[in-house]
Structure 1
Amino acid sequence: MAGKKVVRYRRKPKAAAIIFGIVLVYIVCFIVIYVSKAKVQTYEVEVGSLMNNASFTAVALRQEEVYNSSYSGDINYYQREGTRVMTGDTVYTVDETGRVSDILAQYTSGDGNALSDENLTVIKNTLTNYKTEYADSGFSAVYDLKSDLNATVLQSINENIMANLDSIVASTGSQDLFKTAKSDKPGIVVYSVDGYEGVTEETIGSVDFKKKSYDKQSLKSEKLITASDPAYKLITSENWTLMFPITQSDIDKYSLSSKDTLSIKFTKDNITGTFPFKIVNDGKNSYGEITLSKYMIRYATERFLDIEIIVSGKSGIKVPVSAVTENEFYKIPKEYLITNGEKGDYGFLVEQSDSDGKLNQVFKAVDIYKSNDEAVYIKKTELAAGTGIIRMDSSDRFVVGPVEKLRGVYCVNTGYTVFKLVEVIDGNNEYYILKQSLSHGVSIYDRIILDADKYSENEMIY
């Protein structure tokens, strides 16, 4: 026994260890794939509608009267543009002699002519509004700001001068320091003319909508005025009109012919409202006419206004445009479709070879994804390309092969992609509105893939 050698044999791995190793490798691989795989973006389907707003540029027509100056000389405005004046309010003065500036400099140097709290509040609000609305593209607003501030100061000075006119005349020996122009009726004062003051709903034409050729003359920038030159404009009514050109396509698309009111949004500041509307025609062109009785003072200085017609779109299933893709389906003439008398399944009589190579006609049930009066559509996995289909009670034969692309989305409720059909009834650049209760279609609360073009059917994503 002592001379015998002891040989050790390696133990064979136990089955449990092998299984554990396989599972461990699988888990590691799964984690690596999961971490490295791009995160799938999904969207929960909901019911909604679209706001298909239509944009137009409208011309504002108002009751406007232009007032010409009766004097020549230095002109100073006493009312801020776009404010309401009453009958008898001083709008501007004209210095015919050139002496007023010197007299005002002497008179206004005292402490008694400081701006009132009301005037200071107006100046503060003017500066605040300018800061809020300023844009580099509208640098001309700087000149409007200057004119508004100047008008506020002049109005304060004018009030003090008028209140103490006798003492000023006595101390300076000057009569008729300047010519004063007062408003003869109430209205909104505007310091510009553009030739549209006489245009009405009956006389407007296509040439009036050419914004590029529009010429607006600012009166506030003039220091000197000549007798008979325009001095200011007065808007005498709160009622005004917006006119904009429309085509027959616009009328049909937005159902304008059936509307007597229209909801619009002013693009400049997002003010919205619903107003009386009608379509007018001058024999050559059609125009939309919106009648307003408010907001006139808000846009009193503007002739062209960008507006949007607020149009409520159709309601249905709402999905992002990026979620819709296309898949190929076999297209088969509908007359080849039959039903199984026993179960009522839909299908076709297909040619099938037996073990002896003999062709037999066999009923093959299929899932019809879509049908119309001419054809039915089935998945390409249902039948092989080249399969012969026999028409019932006829010798007509159709070979499976022609395809057509159908639109749909990938539903991922089960963790892998399932193609579901869609029928778009409305849409814009961001969303589609889909028909509800569509066979093999998407349903509310389904989770669908956002970037559908990056995936294919039956692809596992979780």
Structure 2
Amino acid sequence: MANRKNKKVVKFHRMSHLNIGVIVFLIIFVYMLYNIFQYFTAKQIAVYEVTQGTITQNNTFTGVVLREEKIFQTEKSGYINYYSKDGAKVGVSSYVYSIDETGDFYKEIASQNDGQLFEEKGSYDELEKTAANYVLDYSNMNFYHVYTFQYDMEAELLEAIGSNALSNLDHYQGSSAGFHAYLAPEPGIVVYNTDGLENVTVENFTEDIFDAAAHTKNNLLSREQAAAGEPAFKLITSEIWNLVVPIEQELAEDLAKESNIQVKFKKDNSTAWGASRILNQDDNWYLILNFQNSAARFATDRYLDIELLLSDTSGLKIPNTALTKKSFFLIPKEFLTKGGDDNTNGVTRQYEDDKGKTVMEFTAVSVAEETEDMYYITGSGLEKGNVIIKADSNEKYTLEETASLQGVYNINRGYAVFRKVEILFQNQEYTIVNTGTNYGISLYDHIALDSSAMKENEIIR
């Protein structure tokens, strides 16, 4: 018993052991937290890879036809009949219209054609074609086309009646004192509508002629009777005609160097070459196209929808957001030198330090463009008024002249470097720039998608 009471219980303290796994986990966890923090706080730079591309230009326009036109008035009052097809060529021996003061001839012709006009096979073809073209081109935005369709349908019907009446014309002309038939006064293309633009020329037109709704056709064929002095018909007296097309200034500047442009007419998908010139009038830009033929094809049209068949622009395709402008100092080429540890481009800058001592210092520069005798340069620390020294000479040059270049920030090396671009074409989203530009970018280069978020020489993380 005594022995048991004298026994002492000794407690051993456990030695703590470092758990390497826990330490590694903590390090990784802290590292991840740091990277997450960096990701959400650091500036995010989106990168774009330069690709070869094409921008298709939208070159569809509506132009106004201007030509030599003469309106001829009726000499008598009475019922009127026409004998030549609308838009057909006529000579001085061609009957154009007649006036029947009593209405006997008009009634006789109408009764002869009652129910007989369209019995021949294929006689509906022109009417069907006119109706089909109207349906295909219908637009709620251009409701005035309804009146053009009405005019065209009436013209087809009355031309058919007039064609049948022509066979009886010579017989009837001598049998009635109140009947008067008229020949074309001169050769030309006969048209049976007026729109108030007959006297407008390339020299005197104004902006309001492009309002098609305000210049709808006055259909002369739709009348049964005409009063003396009213328009009877008009003649187009020359095969030469002009098409005036309103365009934007940017396109006008591109087309100014062209002398001939190929055009596709939407009416019948035909094409033609027109002599072209650009006109600036009242701060508006117009393309004037001159054609030497095809006047008869579009004789009844005042407004033509056309497509300019211009080549699509190809080159390096970049987003517009990548574009930026930068100002550069211009220096004579002989003032650029080499120096520094990397033998890089630079200039020798002369300045006075705080103690008034003249210091000659090499400053590295980047060259962004060159002309025959000048370099465009930029460099850290260079300011307007700085003096640079020509190598191996005491000749000095003061940094004064500057010029801006358009370009992008190239980030191939992990930091932003300005590279100039030559713009060929641009739309709202993308720009096509020239390939092979000195000091420019190349295919598959990486550039900053948003130039406004970058500064030159900024390191990309």
The alignment status of 1:446 with 2:442, answered yes or no, reads no
Whether the aligned pair in 2 keeps the contact of 1:54 and 1:310 (CA below 8 Å) is no
2-side partners of 1:366 and 1:67: how far apart?
81
Whether the aligned pair in 1 keeps the contact of 2:349 and 2:363 (CA below 8 Å) is no
Instruction: Specify the alignment match of 1:212 in structure 2.
Output: 208
Instruction: Specify the alignment match of 1:284 in structure 2.
Output: none
2-side partners of 1:140 and 1:50: how far apart?
31
Matched residue SS, 2:128: helix
Taking a change above 3 Å as real, the CA distance of residues 91 and 151 of structure 1, as seen in their structure-2 partners, is: farther
Whether the aligned pair in 2 keeps the contact of 1:318 and 1:434 (CA below 8 Å) is no
1:61 corresponds, among 53, 58, 67, to 67
User: In the TM superposition, what is the alpha-carbon distance from 1:32 to its structure 2 partner?
Assistant: 11
Whether the aligned pair in 1 keeps the contact of 2:81 and 2:106 (CA below 8 Å) is no
> Unpaired runs of 5+ in structure 2?
1-6, 280-285
Matched residue SS, 2:123: helix
2:150 corresponds, among 146, 152, 158, to 146
Instruction: Specify the alignment match of 1:192 in structure 2.
Output: 193
Write out per-residue CA displacement over residues 318-361 of structure 1, whole angstroms, 9 at most, x where no aligned residue: 655432213566888988754459986544557999xxx99896
1-side partners of 2:75 and 2:395: how far apart?
97
Matches within 5 A, 1:62-77: 62=68, 64=69, 66-69=71-74, 71-75=76-80, 77=82
Whether the aligned pair in 1 keeps the contact of 2:330 and 2:401 (CA below 8 Å) is yes
1-side partners of 2:184 and 2:388: how far apart?
93
Whether the aligned pair in 2 keeps the contact of 1:264 and 1:307 (CA below 8 Å) is no
RMSD over aligned Cα atoms: 6.2
Instruction: Specify the alignment match of 1:368 in structure 2.
Output: 366
Instruction: Specify the alignment match of 2:24 in structure 1.
Output: 18
Taking a change above 3 Å as real, the CA distance of residues 273 and 10 of structure 1, as seen in their structure-2 partners, is: farther
The alignment status of 1:96 with 2:101, answered yes or no, reads yes
2-side partners of 1:317 and 1:279: how far apart?
29
Write out per-residue CA displacement over residues 265-310 of structure 1, whole angstroms, 9 at most, x where no aligned residue: 4787687543456999xxxxxx998652443234323457798988
User: In the TM superposition, what is the alpha-carbon distance from 1:98 to its structure 2 partner?
Assistant: 4.5
User: In the TM superposition, what is the alpha-carbon distance from 1:225 to its structure 2 partner?
Assistant: 0.8
Query: Structure 2 length normalisation: TM-score?
Result: 0.62
Instruction: Specify the alignment match of 1:232 in structure 2.
Output: 233
2-side partners of 1:103 and 1:223: how far apart?
14
User: In the TM superposition, what is the alpha-carbon distance from 1:130 to its structure 2 partner?
Assistant: 1.4
User: In the TM superposition, what is the alpha-carbon distance from 1:212 to its structure 2 partner?
Assistant: 3.3
1-side partners of 2:263 and 2:80: how far apart?
38
- How many residues align? The count is 428
Matched residue SS, 2:32: helix
The residue type equivalent to 1:123 in the other structure is: L
User: In the TM superposition, what is the alpha-carbon distance from 1:442 to its structure 2 partner?
Assistant: 1.6
Instruction: Specify the alignment match of 1:262 in structure 2.
Output: 260
User: In the TM superposition, what is the alpha-carbon distance from 1:129 to its structure 2 partner?
Assistant: 1.1
The residue type equivalent to 2:80 in the other structure is: I
Whether the aligned pair in 1 keeps the contact of 2:426 and 2:432 (CA below 8 Å) is yes
User: In the TM superposition, what is the alpha-carbon distance from 1:135 to its structure 2 partner?
Assistant: 3.8
Matched residue SS, 1:3: coil
2-side partners of 1:164 and 1:401: how far apart?
90
Taking a change above 3 Å as real, the CA distance of residues 223 and 322 of structure 1, as seen in their structure-2 partners, is: farther
2-side partners of 1:149 and 1:243: how far apart?
26
Instruction: Specify the alignment match of 1:418 in structure 2.
Output: 416
The residue type equivalent to 2:9 in the other structure is: G
Matches within 5 A, 1:48-447: 60-62=66-68, 64=69, 66-69=71-74, 71-75=76-80, 77=82, 81-82=86-87, 92=97, 94-98=99-103, 114-136=118-140, 138-157=142-161, 188-193=189-194, 206=203, 208-212=204-208, 218-220=218-220, 222-235=223-236, 239-242=239-242, 261-265=259-263, 273-276=272-275, 291-302=290-301, 319-327=318-326, 338-340=337-339, 345-348=344-347, 364=362, 366-370=364-368, 377-380=377-380, 383=381, 391=389, 407-413=406-412, 416=414, 418-422=416-420, 424=422, 431=431, 433-434=433-434, 436-439=436-439, 441-447=440-446
Query: Structure 1 length normalisation: TM-score?
Result: 0.62
Instruction: Specify the alignment match of 1:283 in structure 2.
Output: none
Whether the aligned pair in 2 keeps the contact of 1:78 and 1:152 (CA below 8 Å) is no
2-side partners of 1:43 and 1:375: how far apart?
28
Taking a change above 3 Å as real, the CA distance of residues 451 and 429 of structure 1, as seen in their structure-2 partners, is: same
User: In the TM superposition, what is the alpha-carbon distance from 1:263 to its structure 2 partner?
Assistant: 1.2
2-side partners of 1:139 and 1:80: how far apart?
26
> Unpaired runs of 5+ in structure 1?
281-286
The residue type equivalent to 2:134 in the other structure is: Y
Deviates more, 1:132-141 or 1:17-26: 17-26
2-side partners of 1:407 and 1:266: how far apart?
35
Whether the aligned pair in 2 keeps the contact of 1:85 and 1:187 (CA below 8 Å) is yes
Percent identity between the two aligned chains: 26
User: In the TM superposition, what is the alpha-carbon distance from 1:126 to its structure 2 partner?
Assistant: 0.8
Deviates more, 1:72-81 or 1:293-302: 72-81
